[in-house]
Structure formats: C-alpha cells, structure tokens
Amino acid sequence: MQARFIFAPTTIAVLALTASIFAAENPDAVPLKKFLRPAAKTVKKPGDLPWSKPEAWVGQGPFVAQAEGGAAKKSNGETKPAEAPATKPAPGTNEKPAEKPAPTPAATEPAKPAGGEPEVPRAIMVTKREITAQLQIFLDQQLFSPGMIDGKPGKFLTNALKRWQRAHALPETGVIDENVPLDSVYPVYTFHTVAKSDYKFVGNLAGKTAEQARQKSLLYPGYTDLLAERYHCSTEFLAKLNPKVSFGKLKPGDEVRVPNVAPFKIEDMPDTGNLPEHEEFKARRIVVTRRDTILELFEGDTLIAAIPIAPGSPAHPTPAGKWRILGIASMPTFRWDAGVLNRGVRTKNFFNLPPGPRNPVGVAWMGLNKPGVGIHGTNNPHSIGTFASHGCMRTANWDISRICHMVTAGVIVEIK
C-alpha cells in the first residue's frame, strides 16, 4: 500500500507550534514560511531504500507509514496502527509475516477515533507534548530512536530527526516540515490490557549485588517498570497519561494508556545463548560517536538506524578504534567483578548475576574483540546519554533488542 499523507489547513497551526519547540535548540532552523512551500520534496518510500526488503533487515522497519485511520485490535488488548502488506520473514529469523492492512475508510468519512484519541480532526493536536510525543513515536518506529518517550524536546529527539532526514536525503534541519509524515502515527496513544502473564517478569529485586547473585532472575521491581520499558517511555510519562490509574492496584483486564509504539516484549527475547549468525549482515558496520552519545548502523554508505547510548566515563573511557563483534548473547548472565570494572583486571572476587531485564547488561550483549568491552542493554534506561559506563556502550533494552537482530558476528564497530 502506498502511504498518502494528508495535510489539512489546520496543519499549518501544528507546524507553527512545533517549530517553536525546536527553535531554541536550532538557531539555524528553516523559517516556517520556507518549510511550508507548496512544492514539497518527495520522501523516499520503503521500496527506494536498500534495507526495506524483507531479506535485508530484521525487526521494526525503518519506514513504517499508515495511510489513513484504522487500528487493528489484537487479541491481548493492545491496539496498533494498520500495518503494511504481508511480507515473508527474513531468513534465519523467527519474525512472523506482517498482517494484512486494515481497510481504509472512505474518503468522505471522517477519521475514526481509536486507541484513546479524542474525537477531533486528525490534523488538530492539543498540546506541544502531544506533537513532540507523536514525533518521538514516529522516529522510534523508523529505528531512529529518540530515547525515552516523554513528550519533551531535547538532544536525543533533535539528533534522531536529523539522522532520519539524512537517511532520506533531506536537509538535516532537525525541524519538522512537510517531509516528516507525522500523520503516519495515529493514534498517538493506545491501550495496554493488563495480562496475568505479564507478572511473570515482575518480582522482588534485591538491592545488593551479592543478594542478586542468589536470585534466579533479575526481574522488574514493579509493574510500572515493565510497562514503561515495553512502551519505550518513562514511568513519569505513564503517570501523566493515566492520572486516575493507581498502578499499584492494577489487575488483569485493566487498561493503561500508553504510547503507540511496537512494544518491546521481553517474553519474545530468545532464551539465554548466542544468536545465530547472518551472512547477509556482515557487510554492515556500526559507528559510535562518543561525544554525541550515539550509535549509527550503516548498510554500505546508507544510514539505516541510530540509537542513543551511554559510553564510558572519563575514568573508564570507551576505547577508540576499529573493532568487530565476536558474538551476540541474548538474556546474558553477567560476571560482576569489581577488579574488571574498576581496573580492567579479573579477580577471584566476583558474582555471576542471572539473566533478566534488570541485569546490569540488560537483555542482550554484543561482545567485541576488545576484552571486557561490548554493546549491551541496561537496568537503568535513565542513564542513557550520560558518560556512565565502565568502557562499554549501553543502550535501552528496547533499542538493543532490535539492533541485535540487525547485525551479526564479524560486523565492524568503529568507535570515534
């Protein structure tokens, strides 16, 4: 299906409001009267990009566009936008073919409200937070991660938008214009239905490392933590979206309003062990820019994904140079050794911490041919963007869970 992006007259107000969000951070931003020019540049469609073919990438596509209205209701109560036509899964993966798209409403009918959206025309947004959240969700869907979705502008959002623009051969303004199809994200929010099975990943989390080593798994300490990570946002943002919800009293069947992203489901992560190698990914390369706290993934010279990271601290910097991935482990056990973390020396005083979303290296580990250094998830997504690691590159679990399925052993990692 070819996406059609419709801009009603009221969109001008949206763009004007959005421009003010980024003006402070982008003194060289394109003025509103310029980016509302009548002849818009054509945004490249999935078929124009090398990674859009099913055999060339795994996970959420870099360009996911919905035409008009419609939302598919899944059996577990989650609502998601209508998807692209069904495609075959990439070789060697467990990805299921996409469902057929939901019917598009007749042109004479108004857009139907779905997933918690008010009954207003689609081009009318209520607040700056709503517009910003919509942009964050759009970029997250494209695998140009804006970091934690919170409805606030910031460095991560601007960096993600600029890189999305670069990938589509557009001027890197970091400002929303007519080339950014925000209409593809509707509804902005949806609902998650609490399920009994969710609580399998929620439980007591010991505070001390020695005590954590005795646990069977390192779970989410609360249900809100599971929801926030599943929908790529902060617990504070969830609370703002659900002012009347008492999260400590949720029970199966209750509904919670959440950002409309492809949920990170920890239950879908492969069991503990190394992921299979993919020969077709070996020509890809990763570039990490420590100063900008960002990781970029390239297919040849084409940028196909970018995610924010937390590189090493000044005392334990991430090593510059060209390295390569030795292997990728899903749901890893972490050997916690103070000697390695502080001095780079293995000792006999260590703890093996069990797998789980609150393992210090999160839900995946990409080991490099530099001993002790890797790209991994985290038990603290709020640390992303800071120089807080002991030399590794940490990412949010929802980001590493996608990136680890787009690379393989042998991929070059250039750290600058």
Segments making up each domain of the chain, as ranges: 11-184, 190-268, 273-415
- Note whether 175 and 154 are within 8 A (CB): no
> Residue 171: which of 305, 300, 292, 43 has the closest Cα?
43
Q: How far is CA 281 from its chain centroid?
A: 20
H-run or E-run covering 374: strand 374-376
| Residues 139-151 pLDDT 10s | 999 999 999 999 9
pLDDT at 235 over 80: yes
Tell the CATH topology of 273-415.
L,D-transpeptidase catalytic domain-like (2.40.440)
Q: How far is CA 226 from its chain centroid?
A: 15
User: How confident is the model at residue 334, as a pLDDT?
Assistant: 85
| Strand 374-376 versus strand 393-394 pairing type | parallel
- In this prediction, residues 364-380 reach a mean pLDDT of 94
Please give the biggest Cα pair distance in the chain: 72
> Residue 238: which residues within 8 A CB-CB, separation 6 or more?
224, 227, 228, 231, 247, 256, 258
Q: How far is CA 318 from its chain centroid?
A: 23
Cα–Cα distance for residue pair 229/264, rounded to 1 Å: 7
H-run or E-run covering 351: strand 350-353
Binning pLDDT at 50, 70 and 90, where does residue 94 land? very low
User: How confident is the model at residue 52, as a pLDDT?
Assistant: 31
Angle at 143 between CA 284 and CA 228, to 5 degrees: 130
Q: Which residue has the tokens 């990438």?
A: 57
| Residues 33-92 pLDDT 10s | 333 333 333 343 333 333 333 232 223 323 222 223 333 333 333 444 334 334 344 443
Cα–Cα distance for residue pair 315/227, rounded to 1 Å: 34
Q: pTM for the complete prediction? A: 0.70
The encoded tokens of residue 69 equal 């209205």
Residue 296: count of CB within 10 angstroms of its CB: 20
Q: Which residue has the tokens 């081009």?
A: 123
